[in-house]
């Protein structure tokens, strides 16, 4: 049976841990709000971009852009794997990494591009040591998204990779996140059903239903605008996925830290009772010894 002192030490250390988890929980709660706001601010851009794209698709009958054609079949599939930079958020990072591995199993070969330090480390552990990588928490997410988009676009057009897939965490609700695999290139309008593609598809449906808007004039040409718009769309989708990963990470961390704080409370309670028992047992033992000793001496 542990001594009173041992128990007291353990309780003290647990209380320290609890203070840290409580602080992290509060920080996550504050940051999640900021991340959500950033996501909301990106919304109008997503809508406008989707609308322009819909206009273009309606105007251009045959699209001659590398993003619209199937890639080099013999090349490995390109996976953009997004994780957080830090841990302490439950299974957040390992879930998304696992999702990427599941996807990779369906392909003969894959090439990883990682965003987020945890994803980078995981890919290194898989034995791919020199894959391109970017941190999630860079000062400008827009700039990072642009770099990633450029890199995968160049590799796709060169035939180094056969497709571009992004694996990232989606924020289902504040309580749950789900890793999702999204095919980006070759670009298929009617493929996915998730943000920000929801709006793109809605707009497309609206547009094709209406179809009465008349001819749209393009400057300088529909093909040129499309050749500019498609990379922008790829870039923005990556940016949007980064924002979502950010928000989902803090949501996961909030849950993880809430649980950790609660568990620490429970342990502290249990240990306090054990400590009180131990102390009481010691007192009782001492009393018995005194009484026993007095009796042995024959004191009245």
Q: Which residues here bind another protein, judged by CB under 8 A?
A: 38, 41-42, 44-45, 48-49, 51-52, 55-56, 142, 146, 213-220, 224-225, 228-229, 232, 236, 239
User: What is the closest distance, in whole angstroms, from the C-beta atom of residue 21 to another protein in the complex?
Assistant: 32
User: What is the closest distance, in whole angstroms, from the C-beta atom of residue 18 to another protein in the complex?
Assistant: 37
User: What is the closest distance, in whole angstroms, from the C-beta atom of residue 111 to another protein in the complex?
Assistant: 21
Give whichever of 55 and 180 is closer to another protein, judged by the CB atom.
55
Give whichever of 74 and 139 is closer to another protein, judged by the CB atom.
139
* Residue 72 near residue 162 (C-beta atoms within 8 A): yes
Exposed e or buried b per residue across 225-245, where buried means at least 16 C-beta atoms within 10 angstroms of its C-beta: bbeebbbebbbbbbbbbbbbb
β-pairing, 177-185 with 164-171?
antiparallel
Give whichever of 7 and 166 is closer to another protein, judged by the CB atom.
166
* Residue 167 near residue 100 (C-beta atoms within 8 A): yes
Give whichever of 46 and 254 is closer to another protein, judged by the CB atom.
46
User: What is the closest distance, in whole angstroms, from the C-beta atom of residue 197 to another protein in the complex?
Assistant: 16
Q: How far is 272 from 268, CA to CA, in rounded Å?
A: 6
Give whichever of 189 and 294 is closer to another protein, judged by the CB atom.
189
User: What is the closest distance, in whole angstroms, from the C-beta atom of residue 88 to another protein in the complex?
Assistant: 28
- C-alpha distance from residue 17 to each of 2, 9, 27, 137, 253 (Å): 21, 13, 15, 26, 15
Full DSSP string of 251-294:
HHHHHHHHHHHHHHHHHHHHHHHHHHHHHHHHHHHHHHHHHHHH
Q: Angle 109-112-113 (CA atoms, 0-180°, nearest 5)?
A: 155
Give whichever of 113 and 239 is closer to another protein, judged by the CB atom.
239
User: What is the closest distance, in whole angstroms, from the C-beta atom of residue 50 to another protein in the complex?
Assistant: 11
């Amino acid at each position: 049976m542990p001594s009173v002192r041992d128990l007291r030490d353990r309780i003290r250390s647990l209380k320290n841990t609890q203070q840290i988890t409580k602080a992290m929980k509060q920080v996550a709660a504050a940051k999640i709000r900021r991340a959500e706001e950033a996501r909301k601010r990106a919304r109008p851009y997503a809508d406008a971009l989707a609308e322009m794209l819909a206009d273009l698709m309606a105007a251009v009958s045959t699209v001659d852009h590398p993003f619209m054609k199937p890639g080099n079949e013999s090349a490995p599939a390109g996976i953009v794997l997004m994780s957080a930079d830090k841990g302490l958020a439950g299974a957040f990072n390992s879930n998304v990494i696992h999702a990427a591995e599941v996807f990779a199993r369906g392909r003969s070969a894959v090439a990883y591009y990682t965003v987020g330090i945890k994803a980078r480390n995981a890919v290194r552990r898989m034995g791919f040591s020199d894959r391109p990588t970017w941190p999630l928490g860079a000062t400008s997410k827009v700039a990072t998204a642009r770099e990633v988009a450029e890199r995968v676009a160049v590799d796709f057009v060169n035939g180094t990779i056969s497709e571009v897939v992004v694996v990232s965490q989606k924020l289902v609700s504040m309580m749950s996140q789900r890793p999702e695999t999204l095919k980006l290139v070759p670009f298929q309008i009617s493929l996915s059903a998730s943000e920000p593609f929801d709006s793109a598809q809605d707009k497309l449906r609206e547009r094709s239903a209406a179809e009465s808007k008349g001819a749209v004039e393009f400057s300088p040409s529909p093909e040129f605008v499309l050749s500019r718009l498609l990379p922008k769309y790829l870039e923005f989708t990556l940016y949007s996925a980064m924002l979502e990963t950010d928000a989902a990470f803090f949501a996961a961390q909030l849950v993880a830290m809430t649980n950790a704080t609660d568990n620490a409370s429970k342990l502290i309670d249990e240990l306090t009772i054990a400590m009180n028992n131990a102390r009481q047992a010691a007192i009782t033992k001492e009393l018995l010894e005194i009484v026993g000793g007095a009796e042995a001496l024959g004191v009245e």
